[in-house]
């Protein structure tokens, strides 16, 4: 039987929703709302599914920190032996603060600064995923200034359509990411000639929320052909980084299991000596978390009914940004009749919505859980309208730990100064 909720450890107990063994009502009473709530058991199970699918292979799973960078989340994965995929110096600092190993960190992103490069080199990260010819030259210079050799992989753009939302597609010719496939061989030759670089691998990532393994397998086949071309020129690679992107269930999607997703890739690289690296983010954290919010007002209009809640687009940007769907469920069963509601926040923007046209039985003050919010929720949040960002709570069995306190209004302007 299919789990009734996308969030994998969410269940109904006596008509009240629990995450693992903690009632969401209890969390709201203790920590207030809006609050992001994560399940340690769900994080662990998701990571272990990657480990199990890769058992017997030389492989490294690098969690994509941008999906959810809370130190508690990072520490769960660090304890499980994860590597980390970062896109900024700040994310590297978080990984190290959470107990992650710099030697298992790959640094992606199109705009690495000199300061970030030096910091990553000083910490001894595993590899830089280089995304342009200009970055290659800058990294060589930065490494030379420190008397180090920078380990590099080129992120190649295979021009494969991932069949996902255009905002999260990264492997087409029109995208800003990566090195054009036809230019990669010449850039590897250039990298081999630079004195302060060490060629370590090759990387490829075509997009996010992928529900079909076929485009990834197509990209992997193109990458393998390039790997063999490089070997013929005496450029041997230690690892092949195939990125992340595996999608999750938000509504009625049927994403493949990790094993099914990886099967064609593992077949393509069967018998190879290179280590395989993967960079999952959403598939590890997306359905391990939810956003807990409370109804402030029910407003009945001529054309629509509105459930105005205390969470808003600054807390969860995905619906306003992508028109993304998040399942919305009442935390406790109610005897009031169900009605169709637009679930909106208090921000002064017409785009401040969290869910459209949902049938819910609600009264003022009721709690609503917005599901599948563990990825790209808190990390994309802002302080628009001078709103403090939500608290974050990690559930571990029967325990609930506040892993990030709610921001106070005073903290939002603590770094500002009025003119004298």
Count of other CB atoms within 10 angstroms of residue 213: 17
Question: Residues annotated as binding site for pyridoxal 5'-phosphate?
Answer: 245, 279-282, 376
Both structure tokens of 365: 């003050």
Which single residue is written with the structure tokens 């969290």? 354
- State the number of CA atoms in the 13 A half-sphere of 266 facing the CB: 14
Q: What is the 3-state secondary structure (H, E, C) of the chain?
A: CCCCCCCCCEEEECCEEEECCEEHHHHHHHHCCCEEEEEHHHHHHHHHHHHHHCCCCCEEEEEEHHHCCCHHHHHHHHHCCCEEEECCHHHHHHHHHCCCCHHHEEECCCCCCHHHHHHHHHHCCCEEEECCHHHHHHHHHHHHHHCCCEEEEEEEECCCCCCCCHHHECCCCCCCCCEEHHHHHHHHHHHHHCCCEEEEEEECCCECCECCHHHHHHHHHHHHHHHHHHHHCCCCCCEEECCCCECCCCCCCCCCCHHHHHHHHHHHCCCCCCEEEECCCHHHHHHHEEEEEEEEEEEECCCCEEEEECCCCCCCCHHHHHCCCCCEEECECCCCCCEEEEEECCCCCCCCEEEEEEEECCCCCCEEEECCCCCCCHHHCCCCCCCCCCEEEEEECCEEEEEECCCCHHHHCCCCCCCC
> Are 91 and 69 within 8 A, CB to CB?
yes
Catalytic annotation present for 204? no
Of 127, 204, 277, 348, catalytic: 348
Question: Residues annotated as binding site?
Answer: 245, 279-282, 318, 322, 349, 376
Distance, in Å, from the CA atom of 26 to the CA atom of 32, rounded to the nearest integer, reads: 9
- Which phi and psi angles does 338 have, rounded to 5°? -70, 145
Catalytic amino acids?
348
């Amino acid at each position: 039987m299919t789990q009734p909720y996308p969030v994998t450890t969410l269940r109904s107990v006596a008509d009240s929703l629990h995450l693992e063994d903690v009632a969401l009502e209890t969390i709201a009473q203790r920590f207030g709302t809006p609050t992001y709530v994560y399940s340690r058991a769900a994080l662990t199970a998701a990571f272990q599914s990657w480990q199990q699918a890769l058992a017997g292979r030389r492989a490294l799973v690098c969690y994509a920190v941008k999906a959810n960078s809370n130190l508690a989340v990072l520490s769960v994965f660090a304890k499980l032996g994860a590597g980390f995929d970062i896109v900024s110096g700040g994310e590297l600092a978080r990984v190290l603060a959470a107990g992650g190993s710099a030697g298992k960190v790959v640094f992606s992103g199109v705009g690495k600064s000199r300061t970030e490069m030096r910091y990553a080199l000083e910490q001894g990260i595993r590899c830089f995923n280089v995304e342009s010819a200009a970055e290659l030259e800058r990294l060589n210079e930065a490494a030379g200034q420190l008397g180090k050799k920078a380990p590099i992989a080129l992120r190649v753009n295979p021009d494969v359509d991932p069949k996902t939302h255009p905002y999260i597609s990264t492997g087409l010719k029109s995208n800003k990411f990566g090195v054009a496939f036809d230019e990669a061989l010449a850039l590897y030759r250039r990298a081999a000639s630079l004195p302060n670089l060490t060629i370590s691998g090759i990387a490829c990532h075509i997009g996010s929320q992928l529900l079909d393994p076929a485009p990834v397998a197509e990209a992997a086949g193109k990458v393998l052909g390039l790997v063999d071309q490089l070997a013929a020129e005496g450029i041997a690679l230690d690892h092949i980084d195939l990125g992340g992107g595996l999608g999750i269930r938000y509504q009625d999607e049927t994403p493949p299991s990790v094993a099914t997703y990886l099967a064609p890739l593992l077949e393509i690289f069967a018998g190879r000596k290179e280590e395989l690296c993967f960079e999952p983010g959403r598939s590890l954290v997306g359905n391990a978390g939810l956003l807990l919010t409370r109804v402030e007002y029910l407003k009945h209009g001529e054309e629509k009914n509105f459930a105005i809640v205390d969470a808003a687009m600054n807390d969860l940007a995905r619906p306003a940004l992508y028109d993304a769907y998040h399942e919305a469920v009442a935390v406790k069963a109610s005897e009031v009749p169900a009605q169709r509601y637009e679930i909106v926040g208090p921000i002064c923007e017409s785009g401040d919505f969290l869910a459209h046209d949902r049938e819910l039985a609600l009264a003022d003050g009721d709690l609503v859980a917005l599901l599948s919010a563990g990825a790209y929720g808190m990390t994309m949040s802002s302080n628009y309208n001078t709103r403090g960002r939500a608290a974050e709570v990690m559930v571990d069995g029967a325990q609930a730990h506040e892993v990030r306190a709610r921001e106070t209004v005073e903290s939002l302007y603590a770094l500002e100064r009025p003119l004298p």
